């Protein structure tokens, strides 16, 4: 009977906290991510999933530039005959050879207009995903994880950097879990996990970020942009928070993998948060030159 009473108190407290959280987040009656809505015609009410309305981002497409007019200069036949083949060959030799096009070393992964190649990750119970009025990617508050993953071609699996800026808007767990390729595997750089303070890589030798040597403990403020960067080379995995090097891991004889579970849906490149509203901007990929 004592255990049953304790269970009842826990359930009631949990439901009350859900109502309070919903009122604070959405400003209306409800619980967790469900709101009480009443039909004005029938007067009947019920719980419905609360949606954060994405702000429309106006896309202005510039008018195509007019095609340049080709100017043809006609010269009289006598002047044309004076140009011999030798002069034409000399002029051609002076013209520099066209350089071979190279792949851009820096690629922007967020255009500020729409999701582009990002796809909303179906974790189940996730919050809304949209671009705000400034073109930043924003995640709503979900019952579990909320995130996106890259649906386009992956530029590389080694010798690259990926960086972004992330901001916690509300919540008490990780506001950025950046998943990325590491050669033939993947890993996740967790920012603010395990209750809001753990920073590290999941997984190293099957140990998550709270258990391996990459773990750091940091404090995070709401409504502040943090710079997040990961560098993967054939020899090392490095990660920064602002200007601080948080991870400096030699890859030789180390097993790199994802934590089994929902985060695997973030591969090959993904961003996620856990029960936390967050925003992201300046998502950039940079290919690195391989030293011979």
What are the pLDDT tens digits along the chain (292 aa)?
555 665 565 556 656 766 666 566 666 676 755 566 666 666 666 666 665 544 444 444 445 444 443 433 434 444 445 555 555 555 554 444 444 445 568 999 999 999 999 999 999 999 999 999 999 999 999 999 999 999 999 999 999 999 999 999 999 999 999 999 999 999 999 999 999 999 999 999 999 999 999 999 999 999 999 999 999 999 999 999 999 999 999 999 999 999 999 999 999 999 999 999 999 999 999 999 987 6
Same domain, 31 and 134: no
The per-residue pLDDT for 194 is: 94
Q: For residue 254, tell me if it sits in a domain.
A: yes
Q: For residue 7, tell me if it sits in a domain.
A: yes
The per-residue pLDDT for 100 is: 45
Same domain, 23 and 122: no
State if pTM tops 0.95: no
Same domain, 151 and 243: yes
Query: Residue 11 to residues 4, 7, 16, 46, 63: CA-CA distances in angstroms?
Result: 11, 6, 9, 21, 60
> Cβ–Cβ contacts within 10 Å for residue 242, how many?
12
The total number of structural domains that make up the chain: 2
Q: For residue 227, tell me if it sits in a domain.
A: yes
Same domain, 112 and 226: yes
Same domain, 124 and 26: no
- CATH, residue 230: 2.60.120.560
Structural domain harbouring 155: 106-287
Yes or no: say if 183 and 252 are a contact pair by the CB < 8 Å rule: no
The per-residue pLDDT for 281 is: 98
- H/E element, 35: strand 34-38
């Amino acid at each position: 009977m004592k255990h049953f009473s304790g269970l009842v108190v826990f359930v009631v407290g949990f439901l009350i906290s859900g109502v309070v959280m919903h009122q604070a987040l959405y400003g209306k009656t409800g619980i967790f991510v469900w709101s009480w809505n009443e039909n004005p015609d029938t007067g009947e009410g019920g719980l419905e999933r609360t949606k954060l309305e994405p702000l429309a981002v106006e896309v202005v497409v510039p008018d195509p530039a007019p095609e340049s007019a080709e100017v043809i200069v006609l010269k009289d036949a006598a002047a044309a005959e004076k140009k011999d083949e030798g002069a034409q060959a000399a002029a051609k030799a002076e013209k520099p050879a066209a350089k071979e096009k190279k792949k851009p070393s820096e690629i922007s992964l967020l255009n500020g207009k729409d999701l582009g190649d990002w796809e909303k990750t179906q974790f189940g119970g996730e919050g809304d995903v949209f671009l705000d009025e400034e073109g930043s990617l924003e995640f709503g508050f979900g019952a579990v994880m909320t995130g996106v993953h890259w649906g386009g071609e992956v530029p590389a699996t080694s010798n690259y950097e990926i960086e972004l800026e992330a901001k916690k808007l509300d919540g008490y767990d990780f506001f950025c879990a950046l998943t990325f390729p590491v050669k033939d595997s993947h890993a996740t750089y967790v920012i603010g996990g395990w209750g809001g303070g753990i920073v590290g890589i999941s997984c190293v030798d099957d140990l998550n970020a709270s258990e391996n040597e990459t773990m750091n403990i940091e404090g995070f403020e709401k409504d502040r942009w943090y710079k997040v960067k990961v560098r993967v080379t054939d020899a090392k995995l490095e990660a920064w928070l602002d200007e601080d090097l948080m991870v400096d891991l030699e890859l030789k004889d180390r097993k790199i993998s994802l934590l089994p579970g929902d985060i695997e849906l973030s591969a090959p490149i993904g961003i996620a948060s856990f029960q936390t509203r967050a925003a992201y901007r300046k998502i950039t990929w940079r290919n690195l030159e391989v030293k011979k």
